[in-house]
Amino acid sequence: MSEIQIDKIGLRVGLEIHQQLATGTKLFCKCLPIESEEYSIGFARKLRIARSELGEFDPSAVFESGKEKTIVYYGNPECSCLVEQDEEPPHELNPSAKETVLIIASALKSNVFNEIYVMRKLVIDGSNTSGFQRTMLVALGGNLEVDGKNVGIQSICLEEDAAKLLRDSADTREYSLDRLGIPLVEIALEPVSGKPEDVKKIALTIGRLLRATKRVQRGLGTIRQDVNVSIDGGGIVEVKGVQKLDQLEKVIAYEAKRQHGLKIISEKLNKIETERIARERDVKDVTDAFKSCKSKTIQKALGEGSVIKVIKAKGFAGMFGFEPYPGIRLGKQLGELVRFYGLGGVFHSDELPNYGIEDQEIQQVRKILDMQQTDGFVILAGNEKRLEVVIEAIMKRIEDAKLGVPAETRVATATGETVYLRPRPGASRMYPETDILPVIVSTNELEKAAMKVPKSWEETLLSLQKQYELNPQLALQVFDSEYLDLFETICKDKRISPNFVASILCGTITNLERRRMDAKLLKSPEIVEVFNLLAEGKIAKESLEIIFEGVMSGKSKSIFDVIKEHTLGTLDEKELNKQLDELIESNTKIIEEQGTRSISPLMGLAMKTLRGKVDGQKLNQLLENKIKSKIDNKSKGN
Ligand SMILES: [Zn+2]
């Protein structure tokens, strides 16, 4: 194993950025784009086999339909109507979404078409009730400057977001309709060569340009990246579902390592004697040989009526477990592939004997398939009909290993790796939407949009900094966060220091999220209310973290519940003075011994009972005055 030299493998990365627009209503109906977990509507559809109207089967479509699933949709009337249910044709295009995409195209110097056609893009995973996603190619070309370098824009599309996947099991898949139909702008960039961190910088710059328009949604899930990654001589791998920039950087680095690892494997394979797998000769049913196998997985499969099949790969001994880079093995790729077909995994020759499969079974397998020591094999267990499809896929994947990197679609994991999702879809996925007339873009509209292009994000940032006297770091944090609108609402009358508001929104709340608390439980109007209470002196600065923690941990339903449960309301002056006087009286000894320095231990004692109920600074001042006057009285008394 060696260290990968990422700048020497011909890494190329194409980014596709999907950003939800803040248009108030959806793209083709008046439903509100709000996420909701309360569903009053529910209906089911069978995933039907789809043939595109151009008459060609889409490979990914045929593939998915082989899985025969029931799709269940949930929604509520506030954020879904008959359009989302595909019971009514789409209404007119949302004019605000149109204007926003024109502004974005203008900002990216892209060439907008005079007429925009609504197209249907076939989707067969059930994420759209109609079986297709509506998309419009709005503009082509353009560029963006990142760190003094020009990054080319390929295309800009306006499209509908898909339904949100709730659950997926072997025969049912459940979606919620609230996200379906939210306007998305899709910006496809020209592929760039460079390091993962350079690509992250590009994505960050695009994200900031979009946020500077103040016409896009903010927060996790509102901006998503699909990434096309390839290296010299390999197929293009599409990675879906990247939501965070750090994850983007990791995903590209992982793909570079995986793809180059596969290339090393292919080079090694090409030096040894292998043979194309022949179905008749190299695939055999070995169920009988495993009847008394000690593997729990095998016994469970046999109990469910599964059969066990083995695929022989001539010359492959040592190749399934070979690891050019840590964690990159052909065996792992095969495991990911069969999981797509609903199998738990595979056993391959380089990892056996193990997992309860013993030498005696291995010897029998080798005998049945007439294997040499230099040959490798893969064991599969499952339903006979299903195995038929899986065996074809595995045979192809083993053949492809000699070629290097197969083109496929993968999905990003939260930790920044990727796993196999499905074969790459074919090209015949678009056909015209017959329910909507072409959308005309007038010169007047284009001119208007050009005037609305925001200043650069750097300038927007500077004006934010100036307007609220924020320090540069906090200004950037607010600008990049999902809280910019909220920040501006709270700071409108400047009753509270904007720096303090920014540090709570981007510091305290983020820290609580890092402690695995859920910021989604915190509703914007409640956050505004907390700052109102603070401005009115009804709660203390110190209680904000307690309040947010109470709600975000799920322990309390609302901010008012937390305030009540923790008695966080500020004490009135009289009560506060009374409590502090009592504290002084019961600690006269400390004051006599330590003089004014006794403020420190007494403050500690006071905070025990008063934390969150009194402003810390105010408490400190009051206590200091009381200690001083106590000392003065004492000396006068002497
Ligand atoms: Zn609707």
pLDDT in tens, 245-279: 999 999 999 999 999 999 999 999 999 999 999 99
Ligand 1 centroid to Cα of residue 78, in Å, is: 8
Over range 51-66, report the average pLDDT: 44
Q: Quick one: which of 400, 395, 401, 368 has its CA closest to 380?
A: 395
Ligand 1 centroid to Cα of residue 164, in Å, is: 15
Confidence of residue 618 (pLDDT cuts 50, 70, 90): confident
Max avg pLDDT among 401-405, 520-524, 546-550, 581-585: 401-405
Q: Quick one: how far is CA 318 from the chain centroid?
A: 36
Within 8 A by CB and 6+ apart from 399, the residues are 276, 277
Q: How many CB atoms lie within 10 A of CB 594?
A: 14
Examine the pLDDT at 56 and tell me if it is beyond 60: no
Q: What is the pLDDT of residue 51?
A: 46
Examine the pLDDT at 562 and tell me if it is beyond 70: yes
Residue with tokens 């996925």: 429
Q: What gap in Å lies between CA 638 and CA 620, rounded to an integer?
A: 27
Kindly compute the dihedral angle of the four CA atoms of residues 527, 530, 534, 536, in this order, to the nearest 10 degrees: 110
3-class secondary structure, 409: strand
Q: Quick one: how far is CA 123 from the chain centroid?
A: 20
Ligand 1 centroid to Cα of residue 494, in Å, is: 39
Q: What gap in Å lies between CA 421 and CA 549, rounded to an integer?
A: 37
The 8-class DSSP code of residue 351 comes to: G
Q: What gap in Å lies between CA 532 and CA 571, rounded to an integer?
A: 17
Ligand 1 centroid to Cα of residue 178, in Å, is: 9
Q: What gap in Å lies between CA 34 and CA 27, rounded to an integer?
A: 13
Q: Residue 580, exposed/middle/buried by CB under 10 A (0-12, 13-18, 19+)? A: buried
Within 8 A by CB and 6+ apart from 428, the residues are 52, 54, 56, 58
The 8-class DSSP code of residue 288 comes to: G
Q: Quick one: which of 240, 394, 410, 262 has its CA closest to 327?
A: 262
Confidence of residue 636 (pLDDT cuts 50, 70, 90): low
Ligand 1 centroid to Cα of residue 198, in Å, is: 39
Q: Quick one: which of 629, 586, 592 has its CA closest to 609?
A: 586
Neighbours of ion ligand 1 (CB under 5 A): 29, 31, 81, 83-84
CB 252 within 8 A of CB 199: yes
Q: What is the pLDDT of residue 78?
A: 86
Q: What is the pLDDT of residue 59?
A: 45
Q: What is the pLDDT of residue 441?
A: 97
**The tokens of 121 are what?**
């893009």
Strands in 172-176's sheet, in edge-to-edge order, are 41-46, 70-75, 172-176, 164-168
**The tokens of 356 are what?**
């309860």
Q: 37-41, 157-161, 611-615: which range is least confident on average? A: 611-615
Ligand 1 centroid to Cα of residue 479, in Å, is: 31
Q: Quick one: how far is CA 149 from the chain centroid?
A: 28
Q: What is the pLDDT of residue 342?
A: 79
Ligand 1 centroid to Cα of residue 84, in Å, is: 5
Ligand 1 centroid to Cα of residue 30, in Å, is: 6
Q: What is the pLDDT of residue 60?
A: 47
Q: What is the pLDDT of residue 569?
A: 67
Ligand 1 centroid to Cα of residue 74, in Å, is: 13
Examine the pLDDT at 634 and tell me if it is beyond 90: no
CB 141 within 8 A of CB 153: yes
Over range 524-540, report the average pLDDT: 89
Q: What is the pLDDT of residue 457?
A: 87
Examine the pLDDT at 601 and tell me if it is beyond 60: yes
Q: What gap in Å lies between CA 407 and CA 397, rounded to an integer?
A: 11
CB 541 within 8 A of CB 570: no
What burial letters (b/e) apply to 494-524, b meaning 16+ CB within 10 Å? eebebebbbbbbbeebeebeeeebebebbee
Q: What is the pLDDT of residue 302?
A: 94
**The tokens of 193 are what?**
């060569």
Examine the pLDDT at 65 and tell me if it is beyond 50: no
Ligand 1 centroid to Cα of residue 179, in Å, is: 10
Please give the model's pTM, rounded to 2 decimal places.
Answer: 0.81
Over range 330-354, report the average pLDDT: 92
Ligand 1 centroid to Cα of residue 218, in Å, is: 21
Write down the mean pLDDT value for the chain.
89
Confidence of residue 67 (pLDDT cuts 50, 70, 90): low
Ligand 1 centroid to Cα of residue 217, in Å, is: 18
Ligand 1 centroid to Cα of residue 131, in Å, is: 16
Q: What gap in Å lies between CA 21 and CA 158, rounded to an integer?
A: 10
Over range 149-160, report the average pLDDT: 96
Within 8 A by CB and 6+ apart from 638, the residues are none
Q: How many CB atoms lie within 10 A of CB 73?
A: 24
Confidence of residue 524 (pLDDT cuts 50, 70, 90): confident
